[in-house]
């Protein structure tokens, strides 16, 4: 049997060798292909997990941005409201009205006395009645709750002015108060819209730059741990968390939002105030105005604020004129850190650290980029659309908003069949518009709960795309920097 087998092998050894060779090669090929497929499958799974991880981190970062804006916004709102105290002016005007009624003569004498006020040719007719109606409309439609303490403080101020032994500023007339209420109401709501928009943009840039830094730090750390067989009893999240507020440079970088909250808004307010006086100055609060006319005038204010003249430009890039509102000049950077308490004001460093300098330079570049200017313009358009087409249209002009409901239906929570005027032809007193603006200022600057202006800006613009660009930009640069390579500085 063995002889027969040996003879068979000898006779067919060539064919057998060829067959075994084919089988062996096939086996090796199958194993190779299988290993490559397994590697590809593993790589695809790793890529998918990495993408999901990046997406999860990115979405969490954007939620953090929203909460951060809502947390910081009340600081700026408080500063702006204190600087433009429309409610206090209203209380003072109400106090004047109450004092006038208490001291008033018979109606015939009041009318003649009102008509005898010098320097008021456009306001002399029915001063008593119209002022009372305008003030009542303003106070009621704006839902302004005048506190007794405010009225008492105004009363105390007026009483003290009667004392000739004390040096006080002259009293404001009713006309001066109405003029100040008019400009302050417009300036306050517009300034808050600009501040909300700029704060949202700055926060997105800051947190996404830090989010990118944290992600890369965690990836590099985990890669180093995989190559190190030493068992370390520490959490992998420590490295990622260290860039999220534990290191000094990160805290100092985030501190620079202090500039907008305490200094930048004032520069912005001055610009908006000048534009509001230029455009709305000739109007009287009792003048009749249409929604289209007010929209046209508001657009003119925006043009003056958002498109400065050549001599007012601080740079040649589209967003350069926004930079002074968002970040301090180089000579004030250490002062900002000292004011915020992140460095010792008695022994400040000579200059910023290299990492902090790089973050600020990259932030400035992003603010001045064409894409940031485009995103900012879109956010402002959305914010002013909400104010004009929904709040003013329904609250002051009693027309249908873009949502197709009236303001009364919004407050009652149920629809009603009601004839409404066309928004373009509908008219109202300017004082009614000012009332809605006074109310909306607190809505725009509200940090508690959900801010509908912020929500509209975040969902109706390219803000998330811009944030994704910031989050994913300069990855190679950041990796090289994390590996300790020397990179050129600006």
pLDDT per position as a tens digit, 447-466: 877 899 999 999 877 899 99
Give dist(CA 372, CA 382) in Å, integer.
15
Tell me the mean pLDDT in the region 416-444.
78
Report the percent of the chain where pLDDT is more than 90: 41
Domain-located, residue 4: no
With b meaning 16 or more CB within 10 Å and e meaning fewer, what string describes 106-138? eeeebbeebeeeeeeeebeeebbebbeebbebb
Together in a domain, 304 and 328 = yes
Tell me the mean pLDDT in the region 219-226.
62
Together in a domain, 189 and 104 = no
Together in a domain, 205 and 346 = yes
Tell me the mean pLDDT in the region 311-315.
60
**pLDDT tens-digit map of 371-394:** 999 999 999 999 999 999 999 998
Together in a domain, 399 and 294 = yes
Look at residue 159 in the predicted model and tell me its pLDDT. 44
Domain-located, residue 391: yes
Together in a domain, 256 and 357 = yes
Q: Could you tell me the pLDDT band of residue 322, with boundaries at 50, 70 and 90?
A: very high
Together in a domain, 388 and 457 = yes
Domain-located, residue 166: no
Q: Which of 156, 188, 203 is the last residue of a domain?
A: 156
Together in a domain, 106 and 185 = no
Together in a domain, 262 and 396 = yes
Look at residue 315 in the predicted model and tell me its pLDDT. 56
Together in a domain, 149 and 186 = no
Together in a domain, 367 and 402 = yes
Parent domain of 70 = 60-80+177-482
Q: Could you tell me the pLDDT band of residue 237, with boundaries at 50, 70 and 90?
A: very low
Q: Which of 121, 156, 191 is the last residue of a domain?
A: 156
Strands (E), 26-126: none
Domain-located, residue 403: yes
Domain-located, residue 422: yes
Look at residue 46 in the predicted model and tell me its pLDDT. 83
3-state helix, strand, coil in the chain (%, to 5): 75, 0, 25
In the predicted model, what is the mean pLDDT of the chain? Answer: 77
Look at residue 178 in the predicted model and tell me its pLDDT. 92
Domain-located, residue 172: no
- Higher confidence at residue 380 or residue 345? 380
Residue 234 DSSP one-character state: S
Q: Could you tell me the pLDDT band of residue 223, with boundaries at 50, 70 and 90?
A: low
Together in a domain, 420 and 370 = yes
Quote the tokens at residue 196. Answer: 């909300």
Together in a domain, 213 and 113 = no
Total number of domains constituting the chain: 2
Q: Could you tell me the pLDDT band of residue 410, with boundaries at 50, 70 and 90?
A: very low
Q: Which of 156, 190, 205 is the last residue of a domain?
A: 156
Domain-located, residue 291: yes
Domain-located, residue 343: yes
The SS3 assignment for 428 reads strand
Whole-model pTM?
0.75
Quote the tokens at residue 289. Answer: 């105005």
């Amino acid at each position: 049997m063995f002889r027969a087998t040996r003879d068979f092998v000898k006779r067919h050894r060539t064919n057998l060798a060829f067959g075994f060779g084919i089988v062996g090669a096939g086996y090796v090929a199958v194993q190779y292909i299988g290993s490559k497929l397994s590697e590809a499958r593993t790589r695809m799974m790793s890529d998918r997990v990495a993408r999901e991880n990046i997406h999860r981190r990115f979405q969490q970062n954007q939620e953090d941005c929203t909460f951060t804006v809502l947390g910081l916004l009340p600081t700026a709102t408080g500063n702006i409201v204190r600087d433009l105290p429309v409610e206090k002016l209203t209380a003072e005007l109400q106090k004047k009205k109450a004092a006038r009624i208490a001291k008033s003569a018979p109606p015939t004498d009041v009318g003649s006395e009102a008509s005898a006020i010098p320097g008021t040719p456009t306001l002399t007719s029915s001063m008593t009645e119209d002022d009372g109606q305008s003030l009542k409309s303003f106070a009621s439609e704006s839902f302004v709750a005048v506190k007794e303490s405010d009225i008492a403080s105004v009363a105390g101020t007026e009483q003290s002015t009667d004392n000739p032994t004390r040096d006080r500023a002259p009293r404001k007339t009713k006309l001066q108060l109405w003029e100040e209420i008019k400009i302050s109401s417009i300036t306050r709501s517009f300034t808050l819209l600009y501040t909300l928009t700029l704060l949202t943009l700055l926060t997105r840039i800051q947190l996404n730059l830090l989010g990118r830094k944290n992600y890369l730090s965690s990836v590099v750390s985990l890669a180093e741990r995989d190559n190190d067989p030493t068992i370390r009893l520490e959490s992998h999240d420590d490295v990622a968390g260290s860039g999220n507020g534990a290191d000094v440079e990160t805290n100092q970088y985030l501190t620079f939002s202090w500039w907008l909250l305490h200094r930048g808004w004032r520069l912005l307010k001055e610009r908006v105030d000048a534009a509001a006086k230029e455009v709305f100055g000739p109007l009287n609060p009792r003048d009749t105005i249409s929604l289209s006319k007010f929209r046209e005038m508001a657009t003119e204010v925006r043009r003056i604020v958002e498109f400065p003249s050549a001599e007012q430009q601080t740079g040649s890039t589209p967003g350069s004129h926004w930079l002074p509102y968002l970040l301090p000049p180089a000579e004030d950077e250490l002062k900002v850190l000292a004011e915020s308490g992140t460095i010792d004001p008695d022994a400040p460093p000579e200059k910023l650290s290299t990492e902090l300098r790089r973050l600020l330079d990259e932030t400035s570049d992003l603010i001045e980029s064409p894409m940031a200017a485009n995103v900012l313009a879109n956010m402002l358009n959305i914010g002013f659309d909400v104010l004009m087409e929904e709040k003013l249209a329904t609250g002051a002009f009693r027309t249908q908003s873009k949502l197709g409901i009236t303001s009364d239906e919004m407050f009652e929570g149920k629809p009603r069949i009601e004839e409404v005027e066309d928004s373009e032809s509908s008219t109202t007193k300017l004082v009614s518009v000012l009332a809605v603006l006074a109310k909306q200022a607190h809505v725009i600057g509200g940090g508690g709960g959900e801010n509908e202006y912020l929500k509209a800006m975040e969902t109706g613009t390219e803000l998330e795309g811009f944030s994704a660009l910031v989050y994913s930009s300069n990855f190679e640069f950041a990796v090289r920097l994390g590996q300790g390579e020397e990179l050129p500085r600006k």
